[in-house]
Amino acid sequence: MLDEIGVRWVLLGHSECREIFGETVELVTQKVDTALENKLLPILCVGETLTEMEGKKTESVLKKQLASFKKDSGIVVAYEPVWAIGTGKTATTAQIIEVHTYIKSIVGKDTPVLYGGSVNDKNATEILTAKGVDGVLVGGASLDPDKFTAIINA
C-alpha cells in the first residue's frame, strides 16, 4: 500500500513508539526487515534515555538496539538521544562524534548516520560539520518554515 502511493522511506523505532506503544528491539527489527523486504528504506531511530546516558550505558543501549543488523544492510540510522528530543538540550559535538563513530563500528562505515536531538536553525551547521554525521533528522523545527529553511541551507 505504501509503495502504491509512492512512499520510499519509513521511520522506525522512534523513542515515542518505543515508549508509548511498547515497541521492543525485536519488534523494531521485524519492522525494519519487513520494510527492506518490501523495498522501503528504513530510517532506524536509536538512542538512550537521560538515566542511561548518565549511567554511562549509551554504548550498551545502542549495541542492543543495533545488534541484529548486518554491516551495510541498507538501513539509515538516526541517533536520537531520548534525553535531547524536544528538551532543547543537544549533545555536545564531542558526544555526537563519539556516538556516531561507535554506531558506524557496528553497522558499517558506509551506513548513513543522522543526528536527531533538538536540531534547530542555531545548531544545525555545527552538527552537520561534525565528523561522522551524514545528515540530520529534524523534528519540531521543521514546523517553522524559516527555521527549517535555515537548517536546509546549513
Integer Cα distance of 147 and 47 in angstroms: 24
Q: How far apart are CA 46 and CA 19, in angstroms?
A: 12
Measured CA to CA, the distance from residue 148 to residue 109 in angstroms comes to 28
> Per DSSP, what are the bridge partners of residue 46?
79
Reported for 23-30, long-range contacts at CB under 8 A and 24+ positions apart, including other chains, are 25/64, 25/65, 25/67, 25/68, 28/65, 29/68, 29/69
d(CA 121, CA 142): 10
- Asked if 37 is an active-site residue, the reply is no
Q: Is 100 a catalytic residue?
A: no
Q: What are phi and psi of 15, to 5 degrees?
A: -55, -35
The catalytic residue among 16, 80, 98, 126 is 80
Q: Which residues are catalytic?
A: 14, 80
